[in-house]
Amino acid sequence: MRDDLIDRATSLIREVAQTEVLPRWRHLSDAEIHQKSPGDLVTIADQEAERALTAGLTALLPGSQVVGEEAVAADPGVLGRVGDAGALWIVDPVDGTNNFAAGKTPFAVMVALLRDGEPAAGWILDVVDDRMTVAEAGSGAYTDGLRVKVRTDDPPASALSGAVSRSYFPDDVRARMERGMGALGTVTRGRHCAGYEYVAVVADVQQFATFWRILPWDHVPGALIVSEAGGTVLHLDGSPYRPTDSERGLLVAANEDVWATVHAALLA
């Protein structure tokens, strides 16, 4: 991929965040917040940011398509484009909308580029801190231009910290995980923002994160970033993650050894 496409997309994402998302944070009226489904919010910032990103990204790469979270909410058939041939952008205009609507952090803008169904690049922007993490397939991951890599050691389970996001997990899987959490160090319920969790693993703020619902806009950008930083992203059954996957959950970890340790603790 040409470096200028990465740079231009990075600039576009930042611009949209600064014009459509950040000015609305803590300034939303009740009329600008709606429920798509119980507990699942959408705001005018999500809608306007997705419109701006869709127009801007397709202009950067003529002939490309976009699968955005809000477009799929309006027409579920749009989701079927993931895996199509050609260039496809995946857009989460505000990841962590419930945090955003409540005037809290974290929240992020997330974008990925697929080529013929394969992740080619991913972006996660922490909007409030204006911190951008970018990965290009085969070229590594970078935060604000500096190469980032995960830790490579193999700590004991008791030394590991991470997030077990128990929402959406089947009852039997959740019960197994809750029984196993005691073997691990610090375990939180997550920050309700997948973009935060992936970057936190790369930055060694935490060493793992789990998810059950794996919609592409929540996970394709972060999965590429963690993988390009040397981390491990696999389904709970140990199989590789693909952008078209929507089942079997995910365990994200700093490296293969950490993945195996966390998996043994939570699901053995």
Q: What does the domain layout of the chain look like in residue ranges?
A: 3-148, 157-267
Residue 1 has pLDDT above 50, yes or no: no
- Identify whether the C-beta of residue 150 lies closer than 8 Å to the C-beta of residue 204: yes
198-246 pLDDT tens trace = 999 999 999 999 999 999 999 999 999 999 999 999 999 999 999 999 8
> CA-based Rg of the chain, rounded to a whole angstrom?
18
Domains 3-148 and 157-267 share a fold: no
- Please give the annotated binding residues, written as ranges: 69, 92, 95, 218
Q: Which CATH architecture has domain 157-267?
A: 3-Layer(aba) Sandwich (3.40)
- Please give the annotated binding residues for Mg(2+), written as ranges: 69, 92, 95, 218
Residue 268's pLDDT band, with cuts at 50, 70 and 90, is confident
Q: Looking at residue 37, what is its pLDDT? A: 85
| CA proximity to 229, closest of 144, 154, 159, 139 | 139
84-138 pLDDT tens trace = 999 999 999 999 999 999 999 999 999 999 999 999 999 999 999 999 999 999 9
Residue 167's pLDDT band, with cuts at 50, 70 and 90, is confident
Q: Domain 3-148: what homologous superfamily?
A: Fructose-1,6-Bisphosphatase, subunit A, domain 1 (3.30.540.10)
Residue 2's pLDDT band, with cuts at 50, 70 and 90, is low
d(CA 179, CA 157): 14
* pTM as predicted: 0.96
Residue 82 has pLDDT above 70, yes or no: yes
Report the chain's mean pLDDT, rounded to a whole number.
Answer: 96
Secondary structure E strands in 49-200 = 65-68, 87-95, 108-115, 118-126, 131-136, 140-143, 146-148, 162-164, 187-188
- Identify whether the C-beta of residue 222 lies closer than 8 Å to the C-beta of residue 147: no
Element (H, E) at 40: strand 40-43
Sort 260 into a burial class: Cβ within 10 Å, 0-12 / 13-18 / 19+: middle
